[in-house]
Amino acid sequence: MKRATILLGLTLALALALAIPRSGEAQSSSVTVIKDATILTISHGTIEHGSVLIRDGKIAEVGKSVNAPAGATIIDAKGQFLMPGIIDCHSHIAIDGSVNEGSISVSSMVDIKDVVNADDIDIYRDLAGGVTAANVLHGSANSIGGKTVVIKLRWGQPADKLIFEGALPGIKFALGENPKRSGGAVLPGVPRRYPDTRMGVEDVIREAFKEAKEYMKSWDDYNRRKAAGEQNLIAPRRDLQLEPLVEVLQGKRYLHSHCYRADEIMMLMRVADEFGFKVRTFQHVLEGYKVAKEIAAHGAGASTFSDWWSYKMEAFDAIPYNAALMTQRGVVVSINSDSAEESRHLNQEAAKTMKYGGMTELEALKMVTLNPAIQLGIDKRVGSIDVGKDADLILYNKHPLSVYAVPQKVWIDGHEYFDRERDIAQRAELEKEKKALIEKEKKAEPGQQRQPGKQGPPRRPPQDGDSPEGMKP
Amino acid sequence: MPAWFVRRLAPGVLVAVCAVAVVAFHSPRSAQAEEPRYFAITNARIIPVSGPPIDGGTVVISNGLITAVGKDVAVPPEAWVIDGKGLTVYPGLIDALTDLGLPSAAPATPPGGGQQNVAALLAAQQGQRQARGPEDRPGTTPWLVAADDLKPNDRRIQTWREAGFTTALAAPSNGIFPGQGSIINLAGEEPGAMVVKAPATLQVNTARTGGFGGGFPSALMGALAYVKQVFIDTAWYAQAQPVYDAHPRGLERPDYDRTERVILAALRRDEPVLVPANNELQIRRMLEMAPEWSSHIVLYGVQEGYATANLIAAKKIPVLVNLRWPEPARDTDPESEDSLRTLRYRDKAPSTPAALAKAGVKFAFYSGGITNPKDILRNAKKSIDAGLSADAALRALTLDAADIFGVSDRLGSIEPGKIANLVITTGDIFSDRTQIKMVFVDGRRFLVREQAPPPQEPGAGGRSGNLTGRWNLIVVSPQGDEQATLEVTQSPDGTLSGSISSRMGTATLTNGSVSDARFTFTFTMTIDAGPTDVSVSGTLEGATLKGTMSFGGGFVMDFTGTRAGGPPGIAMWENEGGRR
């Protein structure tokens, strides 16, 4: 019974959060000043009792004092801490339908961008935890997964407005246990999906890039002959599966690879060198500390967990010093969530690198701000509090590396998308609306009973492609 | 066929027996052969939809078409006159997306990983290869045209018709490219006679149904990528094949691909491509994506259209609105509560049509899995209660639906030259108290059985009636109405004797009796290989017989009867007119 009550409470809270009005639109003034805060700029130190001036969604001034024009919205942040919005480099929130197109080993034709779900409550929850941008990835069911997309957590905006404009899209690769298993029990008569081994994973990737190169060549040939004035040519058939791999070869798409073991990390870098592409980030990369120098030499970033391991064989050799050791070898390291729960306290996850590995406060905070921005190629726009960057900011009541820190306000592009006080204030009103709707339905009930009621109509807007949980790391 | 035998039959066998009975009783083309092809409905309120209502007007029908409409229309001498006093005549209603006549449509499987494996297993057992990618064309049968697979004996055709629907888009639904829909009229013994336009629409389905064979695609994003690839391939084929045909020497031959050919032909016919989009997210997605596939997109579902009407209007995309409004689940945990989002959705969904009308979106309604067709109009009424004008609701069920499917030149309104599909009611079609009395499909008249006979009024003649005489019976079989003739003599002691004849032959009545207004009799007729006992019971109401025939104790058909001599049914109208 107690559990049921808790569940009910959770459901209520969820329902309420769902109903938070679309914010950010009501921003009247285009100039906002946050004053008297401890500003953790990440890029150029900490400013005590500092101010930030936001104009047209961008950070216009940062310093001890700013020139606030008349009519600017002034936010008194006395005693509070301002830092850049958190960037989660490995997220599966805001996806409509399954996270995996796991039916085949090369599913590069699918695109997370097609299924961004702007209504996912996890967007709002992440926002309440200070996350302002996320690298939304396909799952790790197959060696070459789907196309990925970087979003800003502009809660209340439609899906196309969530896309981080100008951010290079990516593609998800996966190595090791996930892609080599066929995804559940094998039924009699149903063939297992290739590959079954780590060797097979490598083979799948090599074959795919060989095909992609041939495909690229067929287009090059066609374009050359066409340019030469040849008539009666048939254009190659556009292939949505190979196009993103060509883009990886051309450096127009980032490769984010899920991985655990040092040997497979080395494997992918060798294949990359052979085919002439780069791995942008290794994700999870729990044995990255063993091959940190090689990762740094390749130029790849590493996005890992703070202290999450031993949930499967290939995750047994992990250590909590991983992030720190890779950092010390020159790798750009970020701490990610891969979880819609952990993403809400990535500041605390970052803090753990201070205990394990002796990272400084700045190094720790960078792992959830500037470093993931660099890894995603968006560091010119976000990741630190600098003039000219997007005003993606979190205001904490305590220092963000403290376990007592709770985000009070979160801005994206200068719009206040989350405000803790407003959230709390609106709960009663939303609860009232909910009760009223329930009453209304109950009143309509007698009329409905007249109808034959065996149809079992949908309880919610049908979501096509609802699916089981995506594969965990 | 002895009853004990029937009782011992397995259900499947029983169905087969019933089917035999149906087939045996079914007489191709003859059912309406004696019906007149000329009617004049006079003195009625006519709602043409294409123009203002006409009070005291006349509709003339001949050979399946409307030939004249108006207040001062001459009634041709050959026409059977139906006095429409107190009645309202509407164009036949159109259900804009159904699987009527396609009873073989595979049941939708709820989405989920387990289902996928089951699907995979089934596919394996059936020797199907799991799709390994777009090249295997999973769930892709665009060449299936509903008209080619039509089963006129689908019982729903009659129930829909009796609810006022004379036309439907019947569309295959199984797969990602399930096939092409057809506009059908909801009456006819032969499939070919029912079809108004085929193919009429190209269906696209992105929802995972578990019926895709267990291979690619398994996720929504996979289905979307696949649909994109198919349209890309089709465009490629359109470009490549003519080049190859003109200059084969030195060119690599394009593969033969039925999917590309069929879809290209559909696009060139400018067939509407029907894509699913119910909630705001799906609607926005499809408004972005689908125009790349075809210049002629129609969205269906659209129950969250209240939030997106202006966006849809801006793209000038028509919409089919699912009238099966969301309702609270009935058997839930009493402690569970729906989220505010869900509650809002349920509250606002019926306001979608009003929002669409206001934004200027052209829309039609469809039943979307409603099992009782009377609920279709009830649910349309909910959208009227939520702000839609009754006129707009009627247009959505008639002329606008016809327009969306490119058949407004022949359906959707009461105008000369159009197909004579009419609904005749006792009043406003959206009122709960209105009864549908009669439906015309292709100019053929169908009486509507009343669900519950109204209480007998004194002097209506029920109790004192005598059955003696010759009766024309209309037996409602799943394949349409069948005709039989009953010759009967009622003795003063209440026994009945006589014969019944149909195209099956003539049989002598046995065990006939009348008690109060209820009569019963049996007869034996040869169906398929052996004799089958048919027991009949019914009542005499006014000048009408109503009752049921039970074949071999298993299969039951309703019938009505009128005295022979005049055109069947019309005498009834004259009598009933007095009751009103």
Give tens-digit pLDDT for B327-367. 988 887 878 889 999 999 999 999 999 999 999 999 999 99
Instruction: Determine the distance from the C-alpha atom of residue B121 to the mean position of all C-alpha atoms in its chain, rounded to a whole number.
Output: 34
Residue B31: predicted pLDDT: 41
pLDDT (average), residues B136-153: 95
Lowest mean pLDDT among A388-397, B223-232, B512-521: B512-521
* Probe site for chain B from A464, A469, A471 (most B CB atoms < 10 A): A464
Q: Which of A33-47, B82-96, B97-111, B549-563 has the lowest mean pLDDT?
A: B97-111
Residue count of chain A: 473
Residue whose C-alpha is closest to residue B290's, from B201, B366, B405, B204? B204
Which tokens is A275 given? 């085919």
Residue among A89, A112, A143, A156 nearest A302 (CA): A89
Q: Calculate mean pLDDT across residues B28-45.
A: 73
pLDDT average, residue stretch B43-62 = 97
How many contacts, defined by CB atoms under 8 Å, are there between A and B?
237
Locate B90 and state its tokens: 């509407």
> CA-to-CA distance for B269 and A439, rounded, in angstroms?
51
Q: Look at residue B554 in the predicted model and tell me its pLDDT.
A: 58
Measured between alpha carbons, how far apart are the two ends of chain B, in Å?
44
Is A196 at the interface with chain B, CB within 8 A? no
Nearest to A111 by CA among B356, B76, B217, B243: B217
Cβ distance of B341 and A15 shorter than 8 Å: yes
Contacting residues of B for A96, CB less than 8 Å apart: 220, 281
In A106-158, alpha helices (H): 121-128
Burial of B238 (0-12, 13-18, 19+ CB in 10 A): middle
The three-state DSSP-derived secondary structure of B426-451 is: CCCCCCCCCCEEEEEECCEEEECCCC
Nearest to B226 by CA among B138, B286, B321: B138
Interatomic CA distance for residues B1 and B7, integer angstroms? 11
Q: Do B236 and A235 touch (CB under 8 A)?
A: yes
**Euclidean distance between CA atoms B28 and B193, whole angstroms:** 12
Instruction: Extract the tokens encoding A90.
Output: 């490995």
Angle separating helix axes B340-348 and A2-18, nearest 10 degrees: 60
Quote the percentage of chain B above a pLDDT of 90. 60
Measured CA angle at B326 (ends B320, B328), to 5 deg:
175
Amino acid identity at B391: D
Query: Could you give the CA distance from residue B538 to residue B547 in angstroms, rounded to a whole number?
Result: 4
B346, A110: Cβ pair inside 8 Å? no
Q: Do B219 and A102 touch (CB under 8 A)?
A: yes
**A329 neighbors A292 (Cβ within 8 angstroms):** yes
Rounded Cα–Cα distance for residues B164 and B441 (Å): 10
| Residue whose token pair is 């919409």 | B319
Tally of CA atoms within 13 A in the half-sphere of B305 that contains its CB: 35
**Radius of gyration of chain B from its Cα atoms, rounded to whole angstroms:** 27
Please report which residue ranges of B211-334 form alpha helices under DSSP H.
220-246, 258-268, 280-289, 309-315
Helices B352-359 and B390-397, axial angle in degrees (round to 10): 90
Helical spans, DSSP H, in B360-465: 374-385, 390-397, 399-404
Distance from CA of B215 to the nearest CA of A (A): 5
pTM of the model: 0.80
pLDDT at res. B527: 64
pLDDT confidence of B553, banded at 50, 70, 90?
A: low
| Residue B26 C-alpha from the chain's centroid | 20
Mean pLDDT of B460-483: 69
Mean pLDDT of chain B: 83
How many residues does this entry show for chain B?
580
Evaluate whether B254 touches A235 at the Cβ level (below 8 Å). Answer: no
DSSP H or E run through B512: strand B510-515
CB contact under 8 A, B337 and A467: no
Is A461 in Cβ contact with B345 (below 8 Å)?
yes
The first and second tokens of residue B55, run together, are 């009070």
Helix locations, B26-84, DSSP H: none
Q: Count CB neighbours of B248 within 10 A.
A: 11
Give residues 212 to 231 of A whose Cβ lies within 8 Å of B.
none
Q: If pLDDT is split at 50, 70 and 90, which confidence band does B450 have?
A: low
A 10 A CB-CB count for B537 gives 13
Token pair for A276 = 């002439």
Residue B3's pLDDT band (cuts 50, 70, 90): very low
A303 closest CA partner among A370, A377, A367: A367
CA nearest neighbour of A389 among A399, A378, A397, A400: A378
Tell me what pLDDT residue B237 has: 97
Q: Which residue has the higher pLDDT, B394 or B209?
A: B394
Residue ranges of alpha helices (H) inside B102-219 are 113-125, 155-162, 191-194
Q: A15 CB near a chain B CB, below 8 Å? A: yes
Q: Residue B571 has what pLDDT?
A: 32
Q: Which residues of chain A, if any, have pLDDT below 50?
A: 1-28, 447-473
Q: How confident is the model at residue B128 (pLDDT cuts 50, 70, 90)?
A: low
Q: Kind and range of the H or E element at B357?
A: helix B352-359
Largest CA-CA distance found in chain B, in angstroms, rounded: 95
What SS3 state is found at B484?
strand
Distance from CA of A96 to the nearest CA of B (A): 8
Residue-level pLDDT at B500: 87
State residue B114 phi and psi, 5-degree precision.
-60, -40
Q: Could you tell me the pLDDT band of residue B315, with boundaries at 50, 70 and 90?
A: very high
In chain B, residues with a C-beta closer than 8 Å to the C-beta of A185 are: 117
Residues 410-469 of chain A with CB under 8 A from chain B are 430, 433-434, 437-438, 440-441, 448, 451-468
Closest CA to A128 of A447, A423, A443: A423
Q: How far is residue B558 from each of residues A394, B476, B484, B551, B555, measured CA to CA in Å?
A: 73, 5, 13, 11, 10
Residue A136 bridge partners (DSSP): A91, A149
pLDDT (tens digit per residue) in B455-464: 444 433 334 4
Asked if A14's CB is within 8 angstroms of B281's CB, the reply is: no
- Residue A238 touches chain B, beta carbons under 8 Å: yes
The answer to whether A302 touches A295, Cβ cutoff 8 Å, is: yes
Cβ-nearest to B125 among A96, A189, A448: A189
| Residue B473 pLDDT level (bands cut at 50, 70, 90) | confident
- Say yes or no: B285 contacts chain A, CB-CB below 8 A: yes
Share above pLDDT 70 across residues of chain B, in percent, rounded to a whole number? 80
Q: What tokens does B188 get?
A: 């006819």
Measured between CB atoms, does B225 come within 8 Å of chain A? yes
Q: What is the pLDDT of residue B516?
A: 66
Q: Determine, for residues A461 and B284 on separate chains, whether the beta-carbon distance falls below 8 Å.
A: no
> pLDDT by residue (tens digit) across B201-220?
999 998 754 443 468 998 99
Burial call A201-217: b when 16+ CB within 10 Å, e when fewer: bbbbbeebbebbbebbe
B124 neighbourhood in chain A, CB within 8 Å: 187-190
CB B544 within 8 A of CB B538: no
Q: Do A465 and B254 touch (CB under 8 A)?
A: no
- Give the single-character DSSP code of A40: E
Contact B338 A460 (CB under 8 A): yes
pLDDT at B117 (0 to 100): 45
The span from the CA of A94 to the CA of A119, in Å, is 7
Residue type, A257: S
- In B239-258, the residues whose Cβ lies within 8 Å of chain A are 239-240, 243-244, 246-247, 251-252, 254
Q: Are B123 and B117 in contact (CB under 8 A)?
A: no
Residue B336 or B229, more confident: B229
Q: 3-class SS at B67?
A: strand
Q: Which of B220, B226, B343 sits opposite A96 (nearest CB)?
A: B220
**Closest in B216, B330, B337 to A8, CB measured:** B337
Asked if residues A124 and A198 have their Cβ atoms less than 8 Å apart, the reply is no
